[in-house]
Amino acid sequence: MKPPVPEIKTLKHTSENLLEVSDLHFSFEGNVVLKGVNLVIPRGKVVGILGVSGCGKTTLLRHFGGQLEPSRGSVKFNGQVVHKLNNTELYAMRRKMGMMFQVSGLFSDLSVFDNIAYPMREHTDLPEDVIHDLVLMKLHAVGLRGARDLRTAELSGGMERRVALARAIALDPMLIMYDEPFAGLDPISLNTIANLIRRLNDAIGLTSVVVTHDVSESLKVADYVYFIHDGVVVAEGNAAGMVDSTDPFVHQFVHAKPDGPVAFQYPSQPYADELEIPSAAS
C-alpha cells in the first residue's frame, strides 16, 4: 500500500500561476507599507487576502493593476513584470483584469444596462446588438436582468454590489479582484455576493482575488488564503484549515480575540506619562 501524499502547505511559483508577487516593497511619503510580500495566485482558484484595516491589502491590489510601482521586488501577471510595461502594454494587460471596487464605483448618471455596456463600448468594436445580448447575459448571471433600466440611486446596497460584479466580468477577464466585497452588506446580500463570487469563478473559469477582513465569508468562498500584517505575509494555507490553525495571528484574527499579535493600542508613550496628574504637594 502506497503511503499517503503529504499535503502541500504553501503555494509555489510555477507556470500554472496567473499572478506572482516576489519580495514586494513599497513606501509612501516615508511610510513603509509593504515590507517584502511574497505570494502566488494559481489559475482558476479563488484566493483570499486577509488582514486588519490599513495593513496594505488595497495597496497590494494597486500593484497588481500597475497603479503603483514597487520600491523593490516585482509583480508578474501572466508572465509579464507589471512595472516594466509601457503604457500601451499596461492598458492591454488591464483589459484582462476585472475590478469590483470597495464602493462599487458605478456611474450614477447611467442606467444599470449602460453601466455594464460601458467597458464593452469603450474597449471593443462590437455592434450594439451584440453588446445588448452580452449585457443581458452578465446581468442574468448576477440575477438582475430585470433591473437593467434602473438608475443606481434606485438600487439597494446588495443590488449595487451585484451590478458592480456584472461590470467587472463584462469583458471576460482572466483575473477579477474584489476589494472588500462584503463591507456594509446585510447577511442575505453578503451571502448572495459570496456565492456569486464562487459560482462565477468556477462557471466562467476565472481567477479571483478577494481582499477583505471578513473572515467567515472569505473562508467559505476561498480555496487558499494569505494573512497580511505589518507589511508581510504572516500566514497562509488552505482556507478550510484556518479555523483550527494554531498560528497566533491567524487564531486571533479568525476568532476575533482582543489579545494577540495585533495590538489594540496604537504605539504611544505610557498612558500615565501623558496625563496631567497634579503632584501630591499641590
Closest alpha carbon to 83 in 92, 95, 73: 73
What's the pLDDT score for residue 138?
Answer: 92
Quick check: 237 and 225 in contact, CB under 8 A? yes
The pTM (predicted TM-score) of the whole model is: 0.81
Query: Domains in the chain, please, with CATH?
Result: 14-96+174-258 (3.40.50.300), 102-172 (no CATH)
Q: CA 200, 205, 211, 215 torsion: positive or negative?
A: positive
| Higher per-residue pLDDT: 277 or 18 | 18
| Higher per-residue pLDDT: 119 or 263 | 119
pLDDT by residue (tens digit) across 145-195?
A: 999 999 988 998 888 888 998 999 899 899 999 988 887 778 888 888 888
Round the average pLDDT of the chain to a whole number and report it: 85
Quick check: 77 and 93 in contact, CB under 8 A? yes
* pLDDT cut 90: percent of the chain above it: 44
In Å, the largest CA–CA distance within the chain is 87
pLDDT at 1 over 60: no
